[in-house]
Amino acid sequence: MATKKGEPMTAKSSYAPGQFCWTDLMTTDPAAAKAFYTALFGWSAAESPYPGGVYTMFRMRDHDVAGLGGQPPEEASRGIPPHWNVYVSVDDADAVAAKATSLGATVLAPAFEVMDSGRMAILADPTGAVFFLWQPQKHIGATLWGEPGAPCWFELQTTDPEKAKAFYSALFGWSTGGDATYGEWIVGGEHVGGVLKIDPSWGPVPPNWSAYFAVENADDAVAKARGLGAKVYMPPKEIGTGRFAVLADPQGAVFSIYEEKRR
């Protein structure tokens, strides 16, 4: 549920098309969220104004690792809670969005320029999970992967894993692995994400993508997050490659942390 054992923690200078490249948080209280995540992960934060708001870049040392923006009022009015978004790098956002549509996706926002940073589009896959396309210009996405404080894994929770696997494999050329309980996304031979069927016992959980961040120690991170006002949905749990936990920040955005097993 992160970089596989033996895979390096990597500084990034580019992403191949089809690779996960970025994650950002849309929240109802950016100032409170900034305070929470900088305290939890040791991130620094740099704010940049843009037409209609302010975007915060979270950094780990000299690397961009994630972003933060105010949640659009129309989302909150539809009952959508604060959430982390997942971005996939592409070489042509317009062409990939058109292909996604032909495969059954819904375009929520056609490709548009994000100043000189890149070009993006917002889509919902055929099961309803929202994801973003990112055509990089000056901003490639996260420049650090897998190291404590950086993103390390992205997970799709969906009502129909087989339909989702067929869609993303056709759209991005992803391979799939894992088993009937938990599937995995394989991009260029690297295990980078998972796919999990939503259990009705979870309640009214819509199909969604979520982000995992690497930590040195899952127990310490969970205790710190709890002290900062987070809710713990799943305490640290052992899996084959390490330990993970599922949390919600004080505004309600769900995210996960992952401690890789020591060699």
pLDDT at 11 over 90: no
pLDDT at 238 over 90: no
* pLDDT, averaged across the chain: 91
Residues 210-221 pLDDT 10s: 999 999 999 999
pLDDT at 7 over 80: no
In contact, 15 and 89? CB cutoff 8 Å: yes
Strand 190-197 to 242-248 pairing: unpaired
pLDDT at 130 over 80: yes
Please, what are the domains in the chain? 10-136 (3.10.180.10), 148-260 (3.10.180.10)
Residues 78-107 pLDDT 10s: 888 999 999 999 999 999 999 999 999 999
Please give the residue that has the higher pLDDT: either 90 or 263: 90
pLDDT at 32 over 70: yes
pLDDT average, residue stretch 137-153: 94
pLDDT at 69 over 50: yes
Q: What is the pLDDT of residue 94?
A: 98
Residues 146-200 pLDDT 10s: 999 999 999 999 999 999 999 999 999 999 988 878 889 999 888 889 999 998 8
Q: What is the pLDDT of residue 180?
A: 77
CA–CA gap between residue 117 and residue 135 (Å, rounded): 9
pLDDT at 40 over 60: yes
Give the pair of three-digit tokens for residue 230: 């987070």
pLDDT at 137 over 90: yes
Confidence tier at 9 by pLDDT (50, 70, 90):
low
